[in-house]
Each structure stands twice: as C-alpha cells, then as structure tokens.
Structure 1
Amino acid sequence: MKDIKSWLKEHGVTEVEAMVPDLTGNARGKFIPAAQFLEMGEPRLPESILIQTVTGEYSDEHWDFVAPTDADMVLVPDPDTVRLIPWAREPTASIIHDCHTMDGKPHPLSTRNVLRRVIELYTAEGWQAVVAPEVEFYLVARNVDPDQELKPPQGRSGRAESSRQSYSIDAVNEFERLIEDMYDYAEAQGLDVDTLIHENGAAQMEVNFLHGDPLSLADQVFAFKRTVREVAHKHGIYATFMAKPMQSEPGSALHIHQSVVDIATGDNIFVDADGKQNARFRSYIAGLQTFTPNLISFYAPNVNSYRRLAPELAAPINLNWGFDNRTAAFRVPQSSAAATRVENRFPGADANPYLAIAASLASGYLGMNQGLSPTEPHLGTANEDAIEVARSLEEGLRKLQDVPELVEIFGALFLSAYEAVKLDEFEEFNRVISSWEREHLLLNV
C-alpha cells in the first residue's frame, strides 16, 4: 500500500476503480474516492460476484459454491496492476485486486487465483512460463437493436468496408484516429501492445502483445478489452470481442504463443544445447492435444463461441499440430532456437484470458509431467480433417471434470461452479426462438 499511496499522490488521483475479473472475464468492483481507499483498509465484496453469468444472473446451484449468507471476501490490491484510466474525466486509477477468503486464503472461485496456481506448478519445477497473446476484434457500427445484424462502421472516407482487406494498410488507416487513441491509451496504462494488423474480416483488427509473464499478460488483455471498447465509444462506434459476431465474417480469436524457460539459466527448455527441439517440447504439444477436449469450454466459454469453431472457417476444429501451419490447432512458428514456442489457436477473443492461459499452460504442464507423445505433425490443410472438439457449450462442458489431474489443478469447487454458470447460460439461450426457426419451421414442419 505504501507504493500504491505514493503512486496515487504522484498522479493526483481522486478516484479508484477497485476491481476483480469475474468468471466471465468482466470487471466487477466498486468506485472509491482515493482518500477513502487509502484510509479504509482492504475493500470487501460479496464472493457471489465471482460466479455471475454473463447476463448478471445466478445459477440455481449458486448456494452450493458460496456461503448461504453471501459472505464477503477480502480484496488485496496488486501494485503491479495500478493504471491511470486515460478516458476518465477526473484522474482515476484502476487497480486489479486479488480475492481472499475472510481467513486470508486465496479464494478458490477467483479466475486470477486459478492462473496463479498453474504458474506455481511451473515455479515448483524451476520453470517460468512465457506467453504472448494475439487479440482479434471487430469494429462495428453502433447498434442499439439486438434484432438487427451488425455491420462494419464507416471509416474516414465515409464508406464501410464491403470486401476482405487482410493485412491492408489503407484499410487500417480508415480508422487512423481511433487506432492512434488506442495506442495512446495503451501506452498510458503500460500495456505491452506491439503490432496491429487488419485481419480477414471487414473492419476486423488484431493486436499482438510482447511476450512476458502469464499473469501480467492476462491482466493486460483484461485491461485492453476495456480500453478498446472505450476508444470505440469515443469515436461513435462499437468494438466487439464476440467470437463470431457476423454470419458472413470469420470469427475473432485470442491466440496464445507459449514457451517455458529455466529460471536459473534463462534457457528455453523446449530445445537442447544443440538448438534442436526436444522430447519435452513434443510432450508439451501432446498435453495440448490430450486435454483440450476437456478444457474446450475455457477456450470457447459462450454459446456464440462455437459458431467460430466450424469447418471452412479460419479456426481449428481438431487437434492437429504442425510447423508454421495456420490451419492446425497448435502451430509451431518458424523461429530461432531460443524463441521456440507453440501457438494455441483454439481460444476465442471472448475467452476469459486468465482461464484460457491457465488451461493452455496446465495442458502443457501435464503433457511434460506425464511424458506424453504427440501425433505426427500435420503437413496439409488440417481443417479438412474430421471435427474432434465440441460443437456446443453444453457438449463442451461434459468432459470438464473427467480428468483427476485437471480437477486437482483447477479445484473441484471452481470447476463445478464454472459448469453450473455456463450451463445456466446455455439453458437461457436455448429458450430463445431464433428467426431461422420462424422462417424455416413455422409453416414447413
């Protein structure tokens, strides 16, 4: 708190956003005047906020996971997450907090704590996991009617994109002022944003982050998604991280590049002294292949997520891996020996970054720990092979608790709560009658 106090005074902060990421990856918390924040001690919030559905509802099994009194939990501010909010009118800081039970233990329902537990597995082995996320999103015209389809927004030319502009410089420049503000806001918050490209979809962008510590990068993706939405609002449009926001456009992903280094030497453990990829690297890939079917709901956490994971779209549908193969689920990019890594292409942009990174690292850890062997690298177009993963949220949740090692890592309570919340979302969605059903079934069945 001493460091935080100095920082708040240095920047003339008058208000603090004390926040925690919930199960869906949304920011929950409270606004506190800075003077009160420094004097009141550690803030508290009801532990139930951690397991709300994406619509803010509670599962019917809610009381199986939290105290029937809806007890408080203690929030401990993380000084590494203190950021100045560049879009606020008054000097405002956001601080991500760690969630603890009233007796001081890490709260088992906190997704940030889940990722920490996975990182600790690596630390116990003398390893440091390294990740580099790539975040895709769409810019869309303002849309206040949920029954209307989303459309690309007008750029500076006054026209909306009507064709694919993959990697186009000029298409990005259509939103030059928005992009400049995005980078300015990211820099003001200390986000390690690197390159930006125009992706395959109309007004679809991708931002890459510099590689680093998994928890720090999860925090940054969490902050970045809020930032992009705010920048878009400033410019009179929306930014969406839905996995598949438009029927005729490709989905948006959260690709995660990952490697592991030896803490003592700093060497990449995926290669031997001669620079060649080793058995440990292959076992890491095998872990991703083995446990992704169980953890797919962490990569595809919403009913909309599975519209992205479909044949003939730019997303994986099976468990193939390959060298520099963007059609495979697990891609090994061309790189130097020291930068040897694997890219997990399953997570959607709608994923909770803490859970997506935790799932990926846990899978690789178990693969190495158990000495698993992968399939042969795929040499062709992988998405022409058979579908090997779930096609709906309900199906994706069925295998979540089938592997004892995963239950031990993530915690039985957390997995049960996650499953209950996501099944509640699925059932709520399943009650909605779509326009397709009215059009094709109303008078024909």
Structure 2
Amino acid sequence: MHQENLDWLREHRITEMECIVPDMTGVARGKIVPKDKFISETEMRLPEAVLIQTVTGDWPDDSLLDLTDPDMVLRPDPSTLRRVPWASDPTAQLIYDCFRADGRPVEVAPRNVLKRVLSLYEAEGWAPVVAPEMEFYLMSPNPDPDIPLAPPIGRTGRAEFGRRSYAIDAVNEFDPLFEDIYDYCHAQNLEVDTLIHEVGTAQMEINFLHGDALSLADQVFLFKRTVREAAFRHNMYATFMAKPMENEPGSAMHIHQSLADRETGKNLFSRPDGEPSELFFNFIGGLQHYLPEVMPLFAPYVNSFRRLSRYTAAPTNVEWGYDNRTVGLRVPHSSPAGRRVENRVPGVDVNPYIAMAATLACGYLGIKEGLKPRDPCQIDAYTLPYQFPHSTEESLQRLSRCEAIAEVLGKQFLKMYVAVKEKEFSEYFRVISPWERKFLLLHV
C-alpha cells in the first residue's frame, strides 16, 4: 500500500476496511477487517470460487470447477480507495484485483476481463472513452417477493402515478433521497452528472461524466451499492432489475463510447476535417456484427429479456442512426470532438466490467476486421425485424460458439460465464410461476 494511502487512512481516522472483489454478477465479495490488521497484513487471499457464484448463491457443475478450491492472491488497486459515507464508524473501501499464486491474472475475474480488452486498445495507441447512463426504479419496501412491486410514497404523501417523463416536480418528490445520493457520490469521487425522471413510474436516470473505462466501471459498481444504501435510509428500495414491473418500461445502462489517441487525446472517430473516420464506421460495424453474439453479457438474466421489446421502449435490433432513439446504436448530435456511439442495448442489471469489456470487444473486432456498418436507419426501428436471440438458452449457445469474442475476452472466462448463466437458467426453469397456476391449473 502506498504511503499516501496510509496517510489518507490516518487523516480520515478510518477504523475499518472493506476489501472488495467484484464477482460475475456484480456483487461485492470480500472481507471486512480492522484498519490495523489491514495495514499489517502483507497478503490477502480469497477462494477463486467466490467469483463464479450464481445470483442465487450456487455454483456451476463440478466438472468446470477446480475441486481443490484454490485461493486467489488479492492485490489492492490504490486508486480505488474511498470512504464508505453511510457507515456509522469511519470506514473505507478498496477494490482488489485477483491473481494466481504464480502471478498470472485470474482470467474469470471481471475486472481482469476489462483490463484484458483495454490492453488490446493500448497496444494500438488508443484509449477508449465511455460515459454510462444508469436507469433505476425507486420502490416501496418489498420484503415478500411474492407481492408485486409498488412505487414509493413521496413528500406529498402520495405514490407516484402515470408517466412523469422529465418532470422536475416528480424528481423533487424524493429530494431528501437524492441529496443523500449526491452527497454519498461526492464523498466517493463518483463523477455523476445529470439527474432526470425517466418514463416509468418512479424511474430515474443518473448519468456519469465521460472518462476512462476501468475507472467508470469501478464507479458504476460502487454507484449501484450507493443508491441502494441511500434508499434503505429513506424507507425505500432502489432496484437495478432490467424489468421490475410488468406494465412499466425496463431500465438500461446506455454506454456512450469513443476512442482517443493516447498521445494527443484527439477523438479518433473524427477526421481532421471534422467528418466521421474509418475507425468510427468500423467500430459500428463491429457492434452490429458481434453484439447479437454476446447478448448474455448485456442481458444476463431471464428478466433481462423481458426488457428487450418494442413495447418497453428498448432496442430490438443493432441498426444505427443519427439521433435516433429507436435503434440499438445511436449516434448523438455532437461536435467532431464529441463524436461517439451510444450502445442502448445493455440492461442496467449487467456487471459493468463485463458489459464495458463486451461492447469494446465488439468495436475492437470491427476495427481489426475492417467491418462496414449498414446504412444509418432513418425510420422507426421498432418496425424492423427483431435481431437478437429470442431466449436465454439461444443466446448462451451463440455466445459459446463465438470464437472471435472468446479470443478477446478470454476462453476460460467465457466458458465459466456461460456455465454460471446455464446454472441460473436451470434454477429459474424449475420455478412454476403464478401465471401458470392461474391459467393452466384448472383450464387445460
């Protein structure tokens, strides 16, 4: 640990450390240790199996696991040291990277997957620039999962109703909560920007300032936890499910992305004359070609596919267009310096490290393979054919067969990711839904 970090701990009188590793589902795993033990401990370890738990807490089939259950060696990233602003005692958090005993990165660790993709860009002299947009719902507390979700009570004493898209007063209903969210984000150096009310009932969106992909993935990872914690303190739930309510739109994590020259900082998606560059079109071509193959990385759960419907204001294809919100790949109006592509496909339920690695992998392959995009879409793209896999099962099969993506993201990672999702799907498939009991029990 760097001396400046140790000085920071003393300056803030930290008494406890949360030592965090993001797993495949985006859950914060790790250890909570007293500060003195943290300072004196020369090495921290965790079982590798913590990375590959399903969202239900299970594991893939034994045939894919190392039955010796080995430990990983954890190394802290000093740049991720932050306060935990909601903790009652002075507490800090620190994100760790995962390595094997011989020093090799653990291939299935999501943060390492993103680093692997970024290293490919670095070798070309390129620096990806991203800006995520996070949609989420506020809910009344819901301790019983068999009861449908309901919007929370605001300052007027009434639950929200109808569509309040971009309504300032609708956001002001929850001012005390958002003041805490912004305070908590400021305390953690999470560079959040705009707050708006989205289309759904009590659905909000907070955008991040653009920047380095690894830093933004860290910030999104911490932001989800921050919003949930803040909501708890105001007797609400905040959910990042992709489709939490049947009659409301889904929630996305739109990712704006561009490429900068590592030396000059200039936007490589624009030519010196201000027109779009060949790299720009190749990047879009890669997204169009490979995005349908990597859908489990953007739609990781059965619930995720409920969002991807023309009836829920979510994309149904990988068409692209200028300032067209009906396509999967939107190019907003901007100056040449701000030219970027907005990937509108990922749900907000994604692991941010994996989703950013995946979208950048698609663009990278488009550039390396010289892929050309189709003509920009200038109509309502919801009227066009559905271009994604129609089910979790089909999407996993397509991902497992995509060798080009496996080379970029890592074969072992992709194999284990598919195994985790297959296990989750098999667990889901055993559950008999209320719909089935309602319509089939006595009618068939």
Alignment of 1:296-445 (within 5 A): 296-445=295-444
Aligned to 1:6: 7
Q: Residue deviations 1:326-379, cap 9 Å, x none?
A: 110000000000000000001001000001100000100110111101111111
SS of 2:279's equivalent in the other structure is helix
Return the TM-score normalized by structure 2. Answer: 0.99
1:267 deviation in Å?
A: 1.0
Alignment of 1:238-253 (within 5 A): 238-253=237-252
Contact 2:400 2:418 in 1 (8 A): no
Taking the aligned partners of 1:229 and 1:95, their CA distance within structure 2 comes to 19
1:405 deviation in Å?
A: 2.0
SS of 1:18's equivalent in the other structure is strand
Taking the aligned partners of 1:42 and 1:15, their CA distance within structure 2 comes to 17
Aligned length: 443
Aligned to 1:64: 64
Aligned to 1:46: 47
Q: Residue deviations 1:261-315, cap 9 Å, x none?
A: 1112211111111000022211100100110111110000011100000132211
Gaps of 5+ in 2: none
Alignment of 1:123-134 (within 5 A): 123-134=122-133
Aligned to 2:258: 259
Aligned letter for 2:89? Answer: E
Taking the aligned partners of 1:200 and 1:105, their CA distance within structure 2 comes to 46
Aligned letter for 2:427? Answer: E
| 2:207 is aligned with 1:200 | no
SS of 1:388's equivalent in the other structure is coil
Taking the aligned partners of 1:128 and 1:343, their CA distance within structure 2 comes to 17
Taking the aligned partners of 1:104 and 1:4, their CA distance within structure 2 comes to 23
SS of 2:400's equivalent in the other structure is coil
1:190 deviation in Å?
A: 0.4
Alignment of 1:74-89 (within 5 A): 74-89=73-88
Taking the aligned partners of 2:363 and 2:250, their CA distance within structure 1 comes to 25
Return the TM-score normalized by structure 1. Answer: 0.98
Contact 1:309 1:391 in 2 (8 A): no
Taking the aligned partners of 1:397 and 1:309, their CA distance within structure 2 comes to 16
Moved beyond 4 Å, runs of 4+: none
Taking the aligned partners of 1:387 and 1:86, their CA distance within structure 2 comes to 44
Gaps of 5+ in 1: none
Q: Residue deviations 1:82-107, cap 9 Å, x none?
A: 11001001000010000111111111
Taking the aligned partners of 2:361 and 2:242, their CA distance within structure 1 comes to 23
Query: Relative to structure 2, which stretch is displaced further, 184-193 or 404-413?
Result: 404-413
Taking the aligned partners of 1:118 and 1:406, their CA distance within structure 2 comes to 10
Taking the aligned partners of 2:325 and 2:165, their CA distance within structure 1 comes to 15
Contact 1:136 1:253 in 2 (8 A): yes
Aligned letter for 1:370? Answer: E
Q: Percent identity?
A: 57
SS of 1:400's equivalent in the other structure is helix
Taking the aligned partners of 1:405 and 1:10, their CA distance within structure 2 comes to 48
1:74 deviation in Å?
A: 0.7
Aligned to 1:288: 287
Contact 2:140 2:237 in 1 (8 A): yes
Aligned to 1:27: 28
Aligned letter for 1:328? Answer: V
Aligned letter for 1:31? Answer: I
